[in-house]
Structure 1
Amino acid sequence: MGRDLRALFGTNDLGLSTAEAFTNRERQWELVAAALGEHLQRTADASFDVEDLEAPRGNVLMVHGVGGVGKTTLSRKLELSLASAEHRPAQWGEPTWAGEKVLPIRIDLSRAAGTDFERVVLAIRLALAEAVGRPLPAFDLALRRYWEHNHPGESLEEYVRRSGLRGKFAEMLPQQMQAAVGEVVGALELPGVVGAAVGQVTGAVVRALRERRQTVRALAGCTRLADLLESEPDLDALSYYPHLLAWELARLPAKKRVVPVILFDTFEDIGDRTHRDFERLLQRVVWLIPNALFIISGRARLQWADESLQGQLDFTGPHAWPGLPARDIPPAHTPAIGGRQILVGDFAPEDCDDYLARRLSRDGQPLISADIRAVITARSHGLPLHLDLAISRFLELRRAGRTPTADDFDHSFGALIARTLSDLTADERHVLRSVALLDAFDLTLATRTAGLPHQAAAQRLTERPLVDENPYSLWPFSLHGAIGTAVRTATDHTDDRWTADDWRQAAERALAALGDQWSSTLAPGRILLIGCLRQGLRLARDHRLGLGWLAEAAWAYVGDSIWEPLAPPTPDEPNASSMHTAADALIELLSALARRQHEHRTRTADRLTTVIDTGLLPDDLTEMATYYLAKAQRDLGRSDASRTGMQRVAAGGGRLAPAARRGLTHLARLRGDFPTALDTARTLGWEGRHHRVLGDIWWTQGLMDQATDAYEAARAEAEQHGIAGERATTQAQLAFVTAFTDPARADDELDLAHHLLSGLDLRATTLTTQIAALIRDAGTITDLDARAHLLRTEISVGGLASAEATLELGLAFHHAVRGADAALDAALSRLEELTRNGDYAYYTDIVCFMAGRPTPARPGPPVRWLDGEEATRDRWRTLVTARRGGTR
């Protein structure tokens, strides 16, 4: 850990401690260590030959990731850690190559560093000058010839002294090269004047090599030296000289032997995917020095294993680079040796907090408070660059005389945009801004949102590390969270930044493309519907777009009765003032319908009332809100208000008119007017769920066989129409009625109900299965109080008055079977209190039927049983006596 100079010079506070923080890269170190260990083992094998130019290469690792994720920091830390154990973080562990002299050589390829290919070659040779401490004659002779031919009048010594290569051992390289030339002159016994002309020296060496003279036996083992010395000493030839370095390194004596680990950083700055001239030269270096390990870091994956690059690069394809075609090694996974593409991931939240805490401190305590660190961490999505920008902002606010607060960091940084766009083409930048509007996308969606006629730019963008890929998702691609947020929300100062109209037009294209995907698919399915709705609703809300296809998709969402979480986040207390467009109102409507499975029905009713009062929705969607408001009111026991709403929807003749007529049938059943309910139920048809409504009527009469048949027919119809929610609901009701008559069958029906409920979000239906399980166990329950208490709590949380009355009915059945008169009296008393408003009042009559008691007098109209009270009484009493005599 070193000093953070940028932070140090950002404040006058001398008591402030600034330090560079490094964290969360243990797995990358493990991979580097494993690869280096394998490299050492391979190069030590007797069969390894540096002059074998056809063998596949396994001497390269590619470390890639989005800009600002910490690749350069990792490269620097690897260089230091390989050079000395004292610089290696403690959590990285000990290396396994004790006794080997590892020589890290880090070369910055960034445009800011101004590195060209000559400097790359000289940097490698300069590092070896110190480590080896002796001439490397084959290479040095070739390099000297190249230099004098391409830099006439400029000595290598002077160039090294004035260039960025200058360092403690900078003068060693010219000295060693001069010594190499002197050795050759002496060996060939050349005249001194001739020896001064390197061109003549190399000519003499070539002749000696061709004639196989003993005087140059030290160089004779390098089979390609003569050819390289004879070739035109241009840049292309220079790119082949590393072969001579590899040969020289291989013949060093054991005490001088070194293992170079060459780190090429900022690889994205050497060109692009069209202009690969510099990349071709660097690839030759990697290929021609197989006894060096290369660690390359950049933003994109290394494409050398792609056979389509043949002709642009010298060595391509999976045979040449067997480790490069492998799937990226995830950041959180320590792979087996072999995969060579290492994705550098984001920091985990705890590492972000640790990073922020250690960067700025006073008296050993973090300067950035915990609440600020939490906001920065959440907004960063783990991107280290965001953390650094937030630290700079923290110091900037302090310089301005302000005490930073958490709210000061609840935003994105424009600098992320410039950093992200820097190496993208114009079309790629256009696609990037377009897909920033989307949570996830595929090539078609990205291209249409961008308004481009071809997919090439989108394809190239998906290959960048700023795009995450999940091949198992509906849309496999998504932008890095911090980058997507920054592009959408941060101030953009780039030359090709978008105007507000540009963003709106892109949002319109995206919304249309989503609608086309949903509507044009032959069998769109639930996953596609939910995905299109989630993205489309957010686009329509954020950019104030019309509903278009979203209205029809909303009906499809409601029709399946599954209720997945759907809408984008809404305010904690939605009200009319927070809704300004139809999209706002539709989001609140669908959110209220989905959340009703997890909220008290009072909350649902309030939210739906607010939506209706805005008047923002078209008539058909207002009808939807009215219908579900009436359902919530019925669940709350507000029967009069529910009846008014149902009548309004039924009279409108819209899509929910059959459901509203079903709702009116339920309301008649609630009041005990069974003949009216039965007559209406027979007119409902499938749209009104006629079989289920009939089953609901039959079981209250004690006609369990007829109810069973009705529910089975209802389930079959739901399966035929592919309505998962309705199928689960009817199956739960089937389990409920069989629980009274056949506990063994009820076991099977409950198992199926639980299976059908898997993945669905239906609170009332789930409660039905739990009450059914209690009725199934009637007469044998040993933990009645605990189960009843738990169910009452769940029902109360949901505000489901009907379920509470049904639970008490089930408990009364248990007490009647057991002949527990006191407990039965208590259950009857609770039922009378629950049904005081008249809804489900006939439940008290059914309890009396079960127990063989007379029915109590009650105000209001009498219950209208379908075939009279006595027949109904007999059937319910028979259910109790049958259970008493059962073996369960």
Structure 2
Amino acid sequence: MDLRALFSSNDPIDAGEAFTNRQRQWELVASALEEHLRRIASPAFDVEDLEAPRDNVAVFHGVGGVGKSTLLRKLETVLASAEQRPAQWGAPAWSGERILPIRIDLSRSAGLDFERVVLTIRLALAAAVGRPLPSFDLALRRYWDAQHPGEPLEEYVRRTGLVGRFGKALPQQLQAAVSEVVGALQLPGLAGSAIGQVTTALVGALRERRERAQALAGCARTEALLEAEPDLEALSYYPHLLAWEISRLPAKQAVVPIILLDTFEDTGDRHRDLERLLQRIVWLMPNSFFVISGRSRLAWADDSLQGQLDYTGPAAWPQLAAPADRSARDLGQSSRQHLLGDFSSQDCDAYLARRLTHDGQPLIGPDIRDVITRRSHGLPLHLDLAVARFLEIRRTGRTPIPADFDHTFPALIARTLSDLTPDERHVLRSASLLDAFDLDLATRAAGLTHQAAARQLIERPMVTEDPYAIWPYHLHGAIRAAVRTADDHADDGWTPADWHRAAERALAALGDQWRATASRAFSRTLLVACLRQGLRLARDHRLDDLSWLPDAAIAYDSDAIWEPLAPSAPDQPGSPQPPLDSPADALVELLTTLARRQREHREHTVDRLTAVLDCGLLPGELAEMATYYRAKANRDLGRNEASRHGMQQVADGGGRLALRARRGLADAARIDGDFPTALAVAQPLGYEGRQQRVLGDIWWAHGDIARALAAYETARAEAEHHGNAGEQAISQARLTLAVAFTDPARATDEIALATQLLDGLAQRATTLITHIAALVQDAGSPGVTDRAQTLRTELTVAGLTWLNPSLDTALAFHHAVLGADQDLTATIDHLRESTATGGYAHCTDIAHFMADLPLPEPGTHTQWLDSASATRERWRALVTARRAHLNTPS
């Protein structure tokens, strides 16, 4: 029962601990426990063997609030009563065994010390077994009388509340153990003696090898333990006697203790004093199974702890040893150390729906559950905090709404920061600015000169690792959001100026990493990754100095690959995009627009770039970039005059993009049908101006496919030589279209190569050119017309109207090959209508040439390089050749 919920309102609410998922964790525990039961049942098992490796431990670790304590409470309940097992959890394989779960909360708030841990285990056994465990009980009684003179054990058990969990059996069993010793040794005169005298008598009897004494306390080390000074150190070895006593219980009373140690992280200190004592219990009780939960992995298998703990290294704890890399460790590939993961979205919703109910219906509505789930990143603690907030709002008389939960909770920060060192907290805040990081990036963002704190932080469960990523580490989403957005009430909390300086350091560190690897093979991948993080830092923290970002933006543009660059959304989901009132805002909008233009209508591209230019915040070279790409978008929309004006402006500026702009002017002349001008402008362009590609487009329009192919092949080779994957794909796509008119068989291979080169590139227009090439390849075959209609729809949706004339040219070729005069006439009419403004009007001439039809009057005023008749002959010859290929009659 959730008492907080019960007392939150006069209106009764059904509230309890909802438990969801964790089926995988149950399977892990059940499997490990089954293995443990088989091992201790083996004749070869020796409870007194102190050298054998231990595999009687399973560990669940994870960030604070991920549900470790809830899992252990559920395991305790299920192991105690099979009827409490969730429906999704399968029945365990073992049967006929008496399982005794004992959960011990080690949290500081529980105030537990080592004495109470030992007493808790013995009290649980007292309640379950109902008989004394003589050798252990005698040692415990001797310790108690020495360390707590005048304080009866019965009173201590009552005062500490342990009697409420386990009853009053232990004091009577301890007294019974003493009586059993006296009776077994046949020393009636000791019946009323002090415990010390009884112990001395038993030790003497053991030394004399008396049968009755050895039967009573046959453990080989009983004598030494009873003679040792009864202090805390001796108490930590008494569990060895307890394990021996458990091993010799009669069958009807036999039990297998399952000891669940919760909140193990609270046992840590500089010297690991309490952890050392607890580890002894685990080692000395190999016939008991231990389930341990904490925020970090259990490091007992690490050799580095030698000297701090008694039993260390992979030989001692083979199933606790970490795998070779941390990613495997986080995926649960360490056989007994398991990272407790977050809830899935479905599990979050199910948890919230069952957590609070009214008349059998979920009290928290689906709209609120959706917001809580999204903000939680699957962290159960966030869900519980949201439930508490729901009850708090409801108690005031107001109905909670989704907006009440669209934030993080300061309690998350408190839980996160509570067990970090000051340097770790400093690195954590710095790293929260980054989507992902490595040791160097986190250290430099924190402004530290050494990596020790960063290395310690990445070992925390709040940090996950992907060894194959550029930066392998990233923070848990909910914790990152909490650290960055919630009020930080810690003593060393950062001011806004601290956050701003950290953002500047992080941006500089990203830039240094990019520059240091600019010449390496994976530089493009790193460039994009640095831009994504750097743009968000500059935008969200209003950084005035763009630093390396303009140079990176130019490098991003140069390859024409157009990976998505949009930085992650602002911290508050649903908040509108901020206005363009800083250079960082303008740069983010520029680059994200250039990337998105491959996936959205070119009209949106023009509008976005116009807004970027109108704000006047971009430095000159970046403003030139915006002007150039707006001109390209206008060309794609068929606005040739507006495109020509923009290209001329950039060309006249003489900057980095001047050659590209001159290429744009050459394209504009070609589009207008002024081929002599287009050729003249193209001649001096060179590779930077994509001269060969422009020449290929000119020769293609003339039906001179051989020269066009030669130009495209040269363009592709030049792009490959310069490592420009984007330009290589563009040239290959144009080559594919040209080949499709002359050699359908070769076109298959060229289309496959184009598809391969385009893989991973965001080049929508180029991809659609290969689709047009596929239509040309199949010209004269059934289905081409229907495929062309589908493709036309794609062009319209994308705002790529400049490709419609190419599509119509492909259709005209198809109809001319078939001799379908009526369809050809309709295609020519559509071409004439779509090119009425002058752009691509020469495609209307080409359609006439293919069918050997006379040009209408007035003509299109196309200025061919040789003559209209020569161009006519070349295009007509292509149709004739295709008919011969298909053996289609005229």
C-alpha distance after superposition, 1:33-79 (max 9, x if no partner): 11111100111011011111111111000011111111111110100
Task: Label 1:348 to 1:331 Cα distance change in 2 as closer, same or farther (>3 A).
Answer: farther
For the residues of structure 1 that align with 2:569 and 2:41, how far apart are their CA atoms?
Answer: 64
Identity rate of aligned residues, in percent? 67
Name the structure 2 match of 1:385. 381
Q: Does the C-alpha gap of structure 1 residues 79 and 287 become closer, same or farther in structure 2, counting only changes over 3 Å?
A: same
Give, in angstroms, the shift of residue 785 of structure 1.
Answer: 3.1
Asked if the contact 2:331–2:339 (Cα under 8 Å) also holds between the matched residues in 1, the reply is no
Question: 2:461 aligns to what?
Answer: 465
1:391-790 correspondence to structure 2 within 5 Å: 391-521=387-517, 522-523=519-520, 525-545=523-543, 546-568=545-567, 578-780=579-781, 782-790=782-790
Post-superposition CA distance 1:537-579 (Å, at most 9, x none): 1110011112110111111111111111112257999999711
Contact kept, 8 Å, 2:828 with 2:847, in 1: the verdict is yes
Partner Cα distance (2:355, 2:858) in 1: 76
Cα 1:603–1:575, aligned 2, differ >3 Å: closer, same or farther? farther
Distance 1:168 1:93 in 2: 28
The verdict on how the C-alpha distance between 1:596 and 1:57 changes in structure 2, with shifts beyond 3 A counting, is same
For the Cα contact (< 8 Å) 1:331–1:344, is it kept in 2? no
CA contact (8 A) 1:434 1:446 kept: yes
Name the CA distance, whole Å, in 2 between partners of 1:759 and 1:195. 88
For residues 869 and 875 of structure 2, the distance between their equivalents in structure 1, rounded to whole angstroms, comes to 10
Quote the residue 2:7 is aligned against.
Answer: 9
> Are 1:299 and 2:295 matched, yes or no?
yes
Distance, in Å, in 2 between the alignment partners of 1:332 and 1:17 is 36
Q: Give the number of equivalent residue pairs.
A: 880
Q: Look up the equivalent residue of 1:878 and give its one-letter code.
A: A
2:24 is matched with 27
Q: SS at 2:164's partner residue?
A: coil
**Counterparts in 2 of 1:309-320, with a 5 A limit?**
309-320=305-316
Matched letter for residue 528 of structure 2: I
Secondary structure at 1:147 match in 2:
helix
Contact between 1:185 and 1:195, CA under 8 Å: does it hold in 2? no
Alpha-carbon distance in structure 1 between the residues aligned to 2:332 and 2:778: 52
Letter paired with 2:879: V
Deviation at 1:814, TM superposition (A): 0.5
Q: Please give the alpha-carbon distance, in whole angstroms, between the structure 1 residues aligned to 2:687 and 2:421.
A: 56
Cα distance, 1:164 vs. partner? 2.7
Query: Match for 1:439: what amino acid?
Result: D
**Contact between 2:65 and 2:381, CA under 8 Å: does it hold in 1?**
yes
What is the Cα deviation at residue 330 of structure 1? 8.3
Q: Distance in 2 between matches of 1:220 and 1:349?
A: 56
Correspondence for 2:831:
831
* AA matched with 2:534: G
Per-residue deviation, 1:859: 6.2
Instruction: Write the distance in 1 (CA, Å) between the matches of 2:226 and 2:539.
Output: 70
2:332–2:339 contact (8 Å) kept in structure 1:
no
Contact 1:69–1:385, Cα closer than 8 Å, also in 2: yes
Structure 1 stretch displaced more, 463-472 or 104-113: 463-472
The answer on whether the counterparts of 2:190 and 2:198 sit within 8 Å (CA) in structure 1 is no
| CA distance in 1 between partners of 2:153 and 2:682 (Å) | 99
How far 1:331 sits from its partner (Å)? 11
Listed one character per residue, the Cα deviations across residues 677-712 of structure 1 (whole Å, up to 9, x for unaligned) are: 111111001110111111111111111011111111
Distance 1:166 1:429 in 2: 41
The residue aligned with 1:795 is 795
Give how far 1:170 is off. 3.3
Distance in 2 (CA, whole Å) between partners of 1:611 and 1:373 is 38
Q: Deviation at 1:332?
A: 11
Q: Which consecutive residues of structure 1, in runs of 5 or more, have no partner in the other structure?
A: none
The answer on 1:197 being equivalent to 2:197 is no
1:329–1:343: 8 Å Cα contact kept in structure 2?
no
Structure 1 position 818 matched with structure 2 position 818 = yes
Q: Which runs of 5+ in 2 are unaligned?
A: none
- Equivalent pair of 2:566/2:588 in contact (CA under 8 Å): yes
Structure-2 separation of matches of 1:331 and 1:402: 46
Asked whether the equivalents of residues 353 and 374 of structure 1 are also in contact (C-alpha less than 8 Å), the reply is yes
Q: Could you say if the C-alpha distance between residues 851 and 207 of structure 1 is closer, same or farther in structure 2, counting changes exceeding 3 Å?
A: same
- Cα distance per residue 1:128-161 (max 9 Å; x no partner): 0111111111111111111111111112121112
- Equivalent in the alignment of 1:345: 341
Distance (Å, rounded) in 2 between the aligned partners of 1:454 and 1:627: 45
Confirm or deny: 8 A CA contact 2:135 2:217 kept in the other structure: no
Cα offset, 1:186, TM superposition: 2.1
CA contact (8 A) 1:28 1:331 kept: no
Q: CA deviation at 1:399?
A: 2.2
The corresponding residue for 1:41 is 38
> 2:525 corresponds to which letter in structure 1?
I
Measure, in 2, the Cα distance between the counterparts of 1:140 and 1:362.
Answer: 51
Cα contact 2:327–2:465 (8 A) shared by 1: no
| 3-state DSSP of counterpart to 1:294 | strand
Check conservation: 1:330, 1:345, Cα contact below 8 A: no
Q: In the alignment, is the contact (CA less than 8 A) between 1:662 and 1:693 conserved in 2?
A: yes
From the superposition, tell whether residues 168 and 343 of structure 1 become closer, same or farther in structure 2 (CA, over 3 Å): closer
* 1:331–1:345 Cα contact (<8 Å) kept: no
**Cα displacement string for residues 637-667 of structure 1 (whole angstroms, at most 9, x for unaligned residues):** 1111111110111111111111001000000
**In 1, distance between residues paired with 2:772 and 2:190?**
108
1:46-445 equivalence runs, <5 A: 46-167=43-164, 169-190=166-187, 192=189, 196-219=193-216, 221-272=218-269, 274-327=270-323, 339-445=335-441
* CA 331–56 in structure 1, closer or farther in 2 if over 3 Å, else same: closer
In the other structure, the counterpart of 2:882 is: 883
Paired residue type of 1:83: A
2:778–2:784: 8 Å Cα contact kept in structure 1?
no
CA distance in 2: counterparts of 1:642 and 1:443, whole angstroms = 48
Cα distance change of structure 1 residues 119 and 329 upon mapping to structure 2, 3 Å threshold? farther
Secondary structure at 1:412's aligned position in 2?
A: coil
TM-score, normalised via structure 2 length: 0.97
Name 2:844's counterpart in structure 1: 844
Question: Helix, strand or coil: the match of 2:871?
Answer: helix
Cα contact 2:302–2:321 (8 A) shared by 1: yes
Sort the Cα spacing of 1:482 and 1:577 in 2 relative to 1 into closer, same or farther, 3 A. Answer: closer
Secondary structure of the equivalent of 1:90? coil
Counterpart Cα distance in 1 of 2:418 and 2:701: 72
Cα RMSD (Å) of the superposition? Answer: 1.9
> In structure 1, what is the Cα distance between the partners aligned to 2:574 and 2:409?
30
Q: 1:167 Cα deviation (Å)? A: 2.1
Deviations 1:436-469 (A, max 9, x none): 1111111111111111121111111111111111
Maintained 8 Å contact 1:66/1:466:
yes
Larger CA deviation: 574-583 vs 385-394: 574-583
Question: Whole-Å Cα distance in 1 between the matches of residues 576 and 295 of structure 2?
Answer: 46
Q: CA deviation at 1:519?
A: 0.7
Shift of 1:406: 1.1
- In structure 1, C-alpha distance between the alignment counterparts of 2:672 and 2:216, rounded to whole Å: 108
TM (normalized to structure 1)? 0.97
